[in-house]
Amino acid sequence: MKEKDKKSVPANEEDDKLHISKSVFQTSREMQEKADEELRLKREETQRKYELKKKKAAEAHDKRLEQERLELLKLKTGVIDESEKLSENDTAEVKRSFLQKVSSFFYLNKWWLSIATVLVFIGGLLVYDLVTKPRPDMIVLMIGMNQELGEQSELQDYLSQFTPDNNNNGKQFASLYYIPYTGIEKEDFVNSVPQKLTAELQCADSVVIIANKDIGSVLTPEDTFVDLTELYPDNPHVKGYRFMLADTDFAEKVGVDKSFVSDDWFIAIRKPQDLIYSKKEDMQETYDKDFIAFDAIIRDLT
């Protein structure tokens, strides 16, 4: 009997602890609920005061407008000759500070000013790029699909060493314009090849061209290029208007494997003639300037 009584004691104590624990949690919850309620009431009071203040400001504004309307009506009907209220408002508007006027101007025109700022920024970048970008002494067109030769070789550096300093900036720089013409209409369209060909071949900026046999489907070579047999009659690499590159050390000098310079790759120079975007006189000027480099390249590869 005594053992049972002893065992029952811890159970009672455990119930008391559980009861105390529940009381603590209950009290904490009630305190939190009270705090939340006080915060809610405080927010409602703040919102109420704000709405009241806003309402009074709106009423005062409407009242002022109504008074000004009545004053203006009295002036128009001749009841009064002048109005102190209207003159006070005009004076107050005139007496705005310079900073207030500037601030008002920027606020009212912020969208237009933002657009103007963006346009000025873009214009500045374009001008900077135009001024700082190296001007080429010669432009050489490379027409035909050959990524290794057109993008991964040292062809541009090779051409530059033969180019006179035509723009008198103290540097020799030939710019290579690579146009990856394949003759496959879909591929060429995706790469904007037709547009590039039209733009470059119908202006007088470039006369020296490096190309392969596919050039025959773009233009009429015999009518476009100079017959090199008249200029270099004893040169073994000359075939009509073409100076063939395959059997020269061209590949080695531009840093590519010989397999990337197939038998149909050549270099040629265009005849001066009237074009869509340029006159024959302009093309003749480019020809006279670029032929010096063209001739030096032919002699270097022979």
Q: Is the pLDDT of residue 177 over 80?
A: yes
Residue 201 has pLDDT above 60, yes or no: yes
State the DSSP string of the chain. Answer: -HHHHHHHHHHHHHHHHHHHHHHHHHHHHHHHHHHHHHHHHHHHHHHHHHHHHHHHHHHHHHHHHHHHHHHHHHHHHTS-S--HHHHHHHHHHHT--HHHHHHHHHHHTHHHHHHHHHHHHHHHHHHHHHHHSPPPSEEEEEESS-HHHHHSSSHHHHHHTT---TT-SS---EEEEEE---S-HHHHHHTTHHHHHHHHHTSSS--EEEE-GGGGGTS-HHHHB--HHHHSTT-TTEETTEEE-TTTTHHHHHT--GGGS-TT-EEEEBPP---SSS-HHHHHHHHHHHHHHHHHHHHHH-
pLDDT above 70 covers what percent of the chain? 75
pLDDT at 257: 95
State mean pLDDT over 123-146. Answer: 76
> What per-residue confidence (pLDDT) applies to 7?
44
Long-range contacts of 217-225 (CB under 8 A, 24+ apart): 217/183, 218/143, 218/181, 221/268, 223/271, 224/270, 224/271, 225/268, 225/269, 225/270, 225/271
Question: Which pTM was predicted?
Answer: 0.58
**What digits encode the pLDDT tens for the residues 46-94?**
888 888 888 888 888 778 777 777 777 666 666 666 655 555 554 444 4
Domain boundaries, the chain: 2-95, 135-301
Of 242, 247, 223, 222, the closest CA to residue 232 belongs to 242
User: What percentage of residues in the chain have a pLDDT greater than 90?
Assistant: 49
pLDDT of residue 52: 85
Provide the pLDDT for residue 280: 95
Q: What is the mean pLDDT of residues 214-236?
A: 94
Give 84-106 pLDDT, tens digit per residue.
555 555 444 445 566 666 666 66
pLDDT digits 0-9 by tens, 254-296: 999 999 999 999 999 999 999 998 999 999 999 999 999 999 9
Bridge partners of residue 176, in order along the sequence: 140
Q: Given 3.40.190, 1.10.357, 3.40.720, 3.40.50, which CATH number is that of 135-301?
A: 3.40.190
Q: Does the pLDDT value for residue 174 go beyond 60?
A: yes
Question: What is residue 161's predicted lDDT score, i.e. its pLDDT?
Answer: 95
